[in-house]
Structure 1
Amino acid sequence: MAFVPAPGYQPAFNPPVPYTTMIAGGLRVGMAVFIQAVVPSKHNRFTVNLSTGQYEGSDIALHLNARYDGRDRVVFNSLQGGAWGDEEMKREMPFKPGKVFQLLFEVTRNNYQVSVNCAPFYEFGHRIPLERVQWLQVSGDITLQSLCIIGSGPAVKGGLLMSGPQGELPPMLGPPILNPAMPFTTNIRGGMIPKRTVVIKGVVNSNAKSFIINFKVGFSNDIALHINPRISKSTVIRNSFVNGAWGQEENELPLNPFKQGDFFDISVRSGEKRFKVFVNGQHLFNYEHRMWTLQQIDTLEVEGDVKLCFVHL
């Protein structure tokens, strides 16, 4: 079963480098770009560009260049009319060879806020209008594990470029919730109506035993879908809690993708008859609805031994 991302969420898993993709609808305030990657043992430098075109010579609004040459540093710049602007530099290197890292670009009205491993790293002021920024490019000595363009800015329905299957899905309601504290609770506006998607990106703690994701009815605390990965037992429990009682557990899976210290990307889509759950772009399980008032499933809870990178509803 192939995963079709909802409009407003553009993921790629293990893409080849160099990697270039169009930003559907263009870059807007409130959007974010999330990169999970690792620097290989043999390395010199890698680059991430937010640019106005896909070809060499196009203007570049944000150029991040990590350089390993004995004076390890991260350089920021822009390119306009074939000329580089004033170089800005961070004289520290958070991207350690052989270690997975998270790189987040948050688009604000005044700048790009860059975070590494959930910690603020740099702010780069806008030099090129956001409406001109249409492409994301990654090149150099870097191995991409996942890349997500997330968030829904103004006029999403009119601005996003959608494929046929995407056009049948309601857009993600943004902006994304970045680096939320645990335990985490949020409202799902309009409830888990058919074709609604919720995306949860995080990392399992290195000493994790289990964590829980609940899709609940806020006013009654009934749980329509309870997902409980138990790391120590290598299983993922699914169940519902209705009218004060737990139902029959489901635990059969072809594999358990949740391991200590590993990142995960969970997409939960509500269908007419069942929830469809994907992890890291791969279908993991279906869960037949045990509650049918889907619009009343309006609360998401996450708790346990994980750290969240972002939640996108």
Structure 2
Amino acid sequence: MAGSVADSDAVVKLDDGHLNNSLGSPVQAEVYFPRLIVPFCGHIKGGMRPGKKVLVMGIIDLNPESFAINLTCGDSEDPPADVAIELKAVFTDRQLLRNSCISGERGEEQSAIPYFPFIPDQPFRVEILCEHARFRVFVDGHQLFDFYHCIQTFSAIDTIKINGDLQISKLG
């Protein structure tokens, strides 16, 4: 999603589907999030597809317990939407857990990572890149792990949900 802009303080949506950044130049956006308040739920225009990336930038709270970033198939609560990938950072255990949930059935949780990348009261950048067979997840520019798809209809993965002990500064 190169060129996507979604900073709530600097972006205004125009009637023609373009965004204006604070300098006034138009930027075509594939993802538009009007307010970056946690808990957050936003729509991914056109859903995911191979080559498409979701970017989450923010700051971890001072005394965090956990936070989660989920890519889901819609935002239904009852029945709950399928979860293509759930990333849950747990600070007490210094783990970044990954899972999926399809038709109410949770997959096998994955937890192995080379290091825990999040630091309380510090900024972070998470990129989730959709490839044909997997999501490739980067934190602060470093590839941390791959998560193989459980949902094959990528375009159905059209919602991002974020909650927990963080503030969001930018999504794209």
> Which TM bucket (shorter chain)?
0.7 to 0.9
- Aligned partner of 1:241 in structure 2 is 101
Residue 107 (structure 1) aligns with = 23
Distance 1:30 1:178 in 2: 13
State how far apart, in whole Å, the 1-side matches of 2:31 and 2:41 are: 16
Aligned residues: 156
Counterpart residue number, 2:14: none
Which residue of the partner structure matches residue 291 of structure 1?
151
Q: Secondary structure, in 3 states, of the residue corresponding to 1:255?
A: coil
Partner residue in 2 for 1:260? 120
Unmatched 5+ residue regions in structure 2? Answer: 6-17
Q: Is the 8 A contact 1:277 1:286 kept in 2?
A: yes
Picking from 48, 51, 54, the partner of 1:192 is 48
Give 1:280's match in structure 2, choosing from 117, 137, 140: 140
Kindly provide the amino acid, as one letter, of the partner of residue 215 in structure 1: L
> What are the Cα deviations for residues 214-253 of structure 1, in whole angstroms up to 9, with x where unaligned?
1001156010100001011100000001111211000000
- In the alignment, the residues of structure 2 paired with residue 234 and residue 173 of structure 1 have an alpha-carbon distance, to the nearest angstrom, of 33
The higher relative CO (CA closer than 8 Å, separation ≥ 6) is in 2
1:30 CA drift (Å): 1.9
Q: Verify the 8 A CA contact 2:71 2:160 in the aligned structure 1.
A: yes
| Distance in structure 2 (CA, Å) of the matches to 1:174 and 1:184 | 14
- The structure number with the bigger radius of gyration is 1
Q: Which residue of 2 aligns with 1:30?
A: 20
Distance 2:60 2:149 in 1: 27
Shift of residue 210 of structure 1? Answer: 0.3
Aligned pair in 2 of structure 1 residues 188, 9: CA closer, same or farther (>3 Å)? closer
AA partner of residue 239 (structure 1): N
| Counterpart selection for 2:70 from 214, 217, 222 | 214
Query: 1:178–1:309: 8 Å Cα contact kept in structure 2?
Result: no
- Does the 8 A contact of 1:203 with 1:306 survive in 2? yes
Gap change, CA 1:178 and 1:202, over 3 Å in 2: farther
Q: Paired residue for 1:153?
A: 27
Calculate the aligned-residue CA RMSD, in Å.
Answer: 2.1
1:30 is matched by which residue type in structure 2? N
SS in 2 for 1:295: helix
SS at match of 1:107: coil
For residues 139-193 of structure 1, give each alpha carbon's deviation from its aligned partner in whole angstroms, at most 9, with x where no partner exists.
Answer: xxxxxxxxxxxxx615xxxxxxxxxxxxxxxxx5256x47611100001111111
1:35-54 superposed matches below 5 A: none
Aligned-pair identity in percent equals 28
Alpha-carbon distance in structure 2 between the residues aligned to 1:174 and 1:193: 13
2:30 is equivalent to residue 173 of structure 1: yes
Cα 1:29–1:242 change in 2 (3 A) is closer
Q: Could you tell me the TM-score, scaled by structure 2's length?
A: 0.83
